[in-house]
Amino acid sequence: MTSIFQHAMGSAEFERLHPQLQRRFSVGLAGGEACIGRGVMERVWHRGGGWVRPFLAVGATRHVLLSRTGRDVPFVIENFPYKDSYGRETVTFVRTFTFPRARPARWDATMIHSPERGCIVDYLGTHQHLATDLEFTAEPDGSVVIRSTAHRFREGPVDLTVPDLIGADAVVRESYDEASGRFRISVRVVNRTFGPLFGYEGSFGVEYIDVAEHGMPARLRPVREEARE
């Protein structure tokens, strides 16, 4: 039962992950499990001055970026496998943050394995306008580091590589804490020209559910799906 993440990392690299991370990143159609994580982000932060806020606010309308900051923010991440309208195995990474006195904020992603590109392709937002190549690496302590590389913008006939001036790279580090029995996560999104933009860090516990029994929630699927990888 090989998941899209096992395909992307290769068996030897995948097996270097902590066993709990191996299970979490084994979510897929073959295994029939979804993973739901619930926890608290100790800090959600922004940097970069006043010009960053409008940029983040626009992205937040399509669930691409986070426009708010806070501490001890309740957090849910939902990883459900499904086949998209192009027949590709897809896994959702839908993150919901509940800030005080505000509507919950979502950061949506759907991931596929692209044999053509030789990596995981991460489609961001409700309309999959942004496609990003991801590299997964197992660290010596069994954690996983996920780095974004090339970014592409797709809208109708438009197919552009995102220039460095406005592009942003994400680095995600996820580990398992044996003492607490929880996953630790740290995310940093950095503009290649102006430096750090936003990020968050915290912890969460998970439960695994049977997708056949519970179904794939329609609210997790993107509004629009992009065929181009």
- List, for residues 68-91, the tens digit of each pLDDT value: 889 999 999 999 999 999 999 999
Q: Which of 29-38, 45-54, 131-140 has the lowest mean pLDDT?
A: 45-54
Flag the least confident range among 160-169, 178-187, 189-198, 199-208. Answer: 160-169
Q: Are strands 109-114 and 182-191 parallel, antiparallel or unpaired?
A: unpaired
Q: String of b and e for 74-95 (b: at least 16 CB within 10 Å)?
A: bbbbbbbbbebeeebbbbbbbb
Mean pLDDT value of segment 191-207: 90
Domain ranges of the chain: 4-211
Q: Does domain 4-211 have CATH number 2.40.128?
A: yes
- 141's CB contacts (< 8 A; 6+ apart) are 18, 175
Say whether pLDDT at 49 is over 70: no
pLDDT of 163: 76
Mean pLDDT of 36-50: 88
